[in-house]
Structure 1
Amino acid sequence: MPEATSAAPPPSAATSSEDRKLLEGLTHQQENRPELAEAAYQEILAANPNHGHALFMLGLLAHSGGRLDEALDYMARAVVAAPAFANAHLHRGEVLQSMGQLENALGCFDQALDLKPELLDASLRKSQVLQQLGRLDAALSSDQKALSLHPASPRIRLNIALTLRQMGRIRDALFQLDVTLAENPDFTEAYFQKGSLLYATGRLTEALATFDEGIAVDCNDARLYNGKASVLVLSERLDEALACYLQALDLAPDEAQTHSNLGGLYQRLGQGKQAVSYLRRAIALRPDHAEAHQNLAFALFNLNQNEDAFNEFDWRWRKDDQNQKMRAYEKPLWDGKTELTNQKLLLWPEQGPQDVTIWASSLPQIIARTKHCIVQTYPKLLPLYERSFPDAEIRADVPVYDKSQNDFDYHLPMGSLFKYTRPDLNPDQPAYLLPDPGRVAYWQQRLAATGPAPYVGISWKGAVINDNRSPNYTEVADWAPLIHKPATFVNLQCGESASELGAFEELHGVRVHDFEDLDLFDNLDDVAAFAAALDLAISVSTCVSALTAGVGTETWILAWKQSPWNNLLLQSRGPAVTHFERSTGEDWQACFDAMAVRLQALIDG
């Protein structure tokens, strides 16, 4: 919230009626009487419309009340009335930053620093905006300059740590946080940021200890309980996590992030309606909380409330940590309503090859509605898509910042396709991916040389392993009920976990055949052909399982029922897809037992 103390003259200067009225307004503002404060400032303006301090204070009031356009107008008038007033430039920049006008905000912070180089808040804000713009080297340089002026400021060193974190220099960031805490052991923000960084890098034990250290310093800091609870969630200590979140809520009942986190926890516990309630409360408290909107989308998808879910899913582009940004093409985004019969539509990918391949199941419908459809996709998918969707123009994707393309009338991200082509998210889907028939025959011969049918491809983990994803994945030991069946098992696992192949033979005495010349990560056209040669694929949700389902191979998918990603928007499509789900707190035993019975029936014919 904007500070109200930096603008008013000191009491000794309050000699004029304007000064006295300004101090009267400031007193009202500090004692949370905004209406009376505004009346005092407006009284000044009635006599002197160009009173810089009064305009500034009205701008602060409007900003704290969320009236950004009004705040910007007051601040713009304030800097004209008092061009040497550094704080007016600073707070004008803060309003522009709140409005997402980052370049303009940066200019304001620079003006403030030109007028008053020692203005700490301007230095901090400048660094934050540079971080938001991705100019991390410039942000770090700005922070280091500020530190030379304010060597004892923990806030600057904290800013340096946050910049280093964004740069991927985790060790250096932790060092800066440790120095900050050594010099300022009561600075709870540093405990929160250190715990959050340790949490994000999977060092859960250290993160938990750090949050506890912070709580020992200040047991009334709700953010520390929030952070601790998040660690407990990933540690599967859900009852303790719930108690921690509720403690945070007691301390700060109107903190939107706590409500959002509670929504995520209740989703994890399988209490979807409770999750939706907390997420909606988070959004009511902070309407621009993009993460809460996206989590609400997933919760609503799980409850089959698809129309509302799709609208909430559109918020994904506003998340601070969104790795892929909305394309800033000059041509408009398709609204799903405009007739495309005589129009050219560009579709571009978001997320990874797995999600894109799932959403590609609706390409035939959208292609049929357009005069010409251009599908941009990842290079590893190009040959497969060119063969599977011959009525579209398939292109390699271009960098997000490339705005030069203009040979289309409308564009749309792939993640929005189902919203306009399959709003009911009906999973019934014929095979839609067409593998190379020559390579299918080749892999059929290779499989025949390994042993008798049925040929069963298996994948037990995703290529990316972290604490958020691990509940979706299995361990080699979990496969015991299934792996002893009289079938020929072959590897569909890529990434570091492929090194666990030998454990199947060590633990279960069963060889899982691996074809070293099959690139499961990059040669997805060949993976599709290999998938079509299989009799069955059994996998957690991965790109490979999306391919096996898409080519029409019978596919069994192991899924954590309460996963935010386990919903019809993100589930593999194909004519023979079956899900075997475990709930939070359960192991995979029942899933593998059920699959073992079904596999035996398939073997028996």
Structure 2
Amino acid sequence: MGISTRNFNENNMNRLINKIETPEKILNAPAYDHCVKADALRIKNYLWESIDEYLKALAYDDSNYEAYKGMGLSYKQIGYIESAIESFEKAKKLRPFDKAIRYELGYCYYQASKLSKSQKELHKAIKIDPNYIEAQFQLAVVHELSNEIDMSMKIYQKIIEERPSYIAAYNNLGSLYIRLGMLTAAVEIFKELIRINPDFVRAYLGIAVAYDKMNAKSEAIRFYRKYMEIKPNSVNIPYVLERIGELKSEKKPVQNSHLKLVVQNV
């Protein structure tokens, strides 16, 4: 009995259609399952356990860029920056136009003090998505750390203009103004920040330090006190109290003793 050519062709066509329509996650089901489990573990901060699952996923499918990306995020959270970079670089080779991978690489290179590489990756992320605000902000930080002050300032100002609610840009720009001795500008930018978010405590400290450097004692004391009211348990409180005492004293205040406040955590 002869084989029907028509049936043979139809069967081959159906098999081909099924193969095309089968999702990649089904074709690589074990890798997909391990990756899903790894993501869940990472979200719950079981970071080493998540890395183990990502590695299992990659053992089944070493072209799984999501596994490399997730593993990079886990390593970054643990603080293993070089391992994070290695994972993100492998993810980048598989997905060179993924803006998030480029951003994470830029951030990790920044953490590793490899600033030129950081800039390169952040520029690439912004080229992929010109509205990628997090990448723009991180690029400004890297420029500032590289002592490229004009470029850093321009980016902070651009972010504030285009995204007025992006608080971190105000804070960094105000702190940069203080460093540069642009004290009036610092006061203005921190006051603008307070108008946007009255609970952003570091803005009050920034204003106090700027007024302090301007020798505007009463204004400096007022904002130091406001800072203490909002965050009475801050590690800065002993320094603030000491500085208020110096400013209220008839003796000449210790020159620049308030500068240590700038580098303290709020």
* TM-score under structure 1 length normalisation: 0.34
User: Equivalent residues in 2 for 1:86-235 (5 A)?
Assistant: 86-195=99-208, 197=210, 203=217, 204-215=220-231, 225-235=234-244
**Where in structure 2 are there 5+ consecutive unaligned residues?**
1-22, 247-252, 259-266
SS of 2:165's equivalent in the other structure is: coil
Verify: 1:60 aligned to 2:69, yes or no.
no
Verify: 1:37 aligned to 2:46, yes or no.
no
Distance apart, 1:146 and its partner CA: 2.3
The 1:200–1:125 alpha-carbon spacing in structure 2 relative to 1, beyond 3 Å, is farther
Show CA shifts across 1:26-50 (max 9, x none).
2211212112211221122112223
The 1:50–1:166 alpha-carbon spacing in structure 2 relative to 1, beyond 3 Å, is farther
Give the strand-richer structure, 1 or 2. Answer: 1
Distance apart, 1:110 and its partner CA: 0.9
What CA distance in whole angstroms lies between the structure 2 residues aligned with 1:197 and 1:48? 56
Structure 2 residue identity aligned to 1:55 = Y
The 1:80–1:200 alpha-carbon spacing in structure 2 relative to 1, beyond 3 Å, is farther
What CA distance in whole angstroms lies between the structure 1 residues aligned with 2:181 and 2:48? 46
Structure 2 residue identity aligned to 1:109 = L
2:109–2:117 CA contact under 8 A, matched in 1: yes
Q: What's the Cα RMSD here? A: 3.0
What CA distance in whole angstroms lies between the structure 1 residues aligned with 2:109 and 2:208? 30
2:204–2:223 CA contact under 8 A, matched in 1: no
Show CA shifts across 1:304-360 (max 9, x none).
xxxxxxxxxxxxxxxxxxxxxxxxxxxxxxxxxxxxxxxxxxxxxxxxxxxxxxxxx
What CA distance in whole angstroms lies between the structure 2 residues aligned with 1:155 and 1:146? 10
Structure 1 residue identity aligned to 2:224 = L
Structure 2 residue identity aligned to 1:156 = A
The 1:148–1:69 alpha-carbon spacing in structure 2 relative to 1, beyond 3 Å, is same
Show CA shifts across 1:565-599 (max 9, x none).
xxxxxxxxxxxxxxxxxxxxxxxxxxxxxxxxxxx
Tell me which residue corresponds to 1:79: 92
What CA distance in whole angstroms lies between the structure 1 residues aligned with 2:205 and 2:133? 21
Show CA shifts across 1:282-303 (max 9, x none).
xxxxxxxxxxxxxxxxxxxxxx
1:38–1:61 CA contact under 8 A, matched in 2: yes
* TM-score under structure 2 length normalisation: 0.73
1:195–1:227 CA contact under 8 A, matched in 2: no
Distance apart, 1:186 and its partner CA: 2.6
**Structure of larger gyration radius:** 1
Give the helix-richer structure, 1 or 2. Answer: 2
The 1:87–1:236 alpha-carbon spacing in structure 2 relative to 1, beyond 3 Å, is same
Distance apart, 1:15 and its partner CA: 6.2
What CA distance in whole angstroms lies between the structure 2 residues aligned with 1:149 and 1:14? 39
What CA distance in whole angstroms lies between the structure 2 residues aligned with 1:201 and 1:79? 49
What CA distance in whole angstroms lies between the structure 2 residues aligned with 1:145 and 1:36? 41
The 1:213–1:45 alpha-carbon spacing in structure 2 relative to 1, beyond 3 Å, is same
What CA distance in whole angstroms lies between the structure 2 residues aligned with 1:115 and 1:151? 23
Structure 1 residue identity aligned to 2:228 = D
Tell me which residue corresponds to 1:487: none
Match of 2:63 among 35, 45, 50: 50
Distance apart, 1:114 and its partner CA: 0.9
Distance apart, 1:213 and its partner CA: 4.3
SS of 2:236's equivalent in the other structure is: helix
SS of 2:82's equivalent in the other structure is: helix
Verify: 1:468 aligned to 2:266, yes or no.
no
Q: Alignment identity in percent?
A: 15
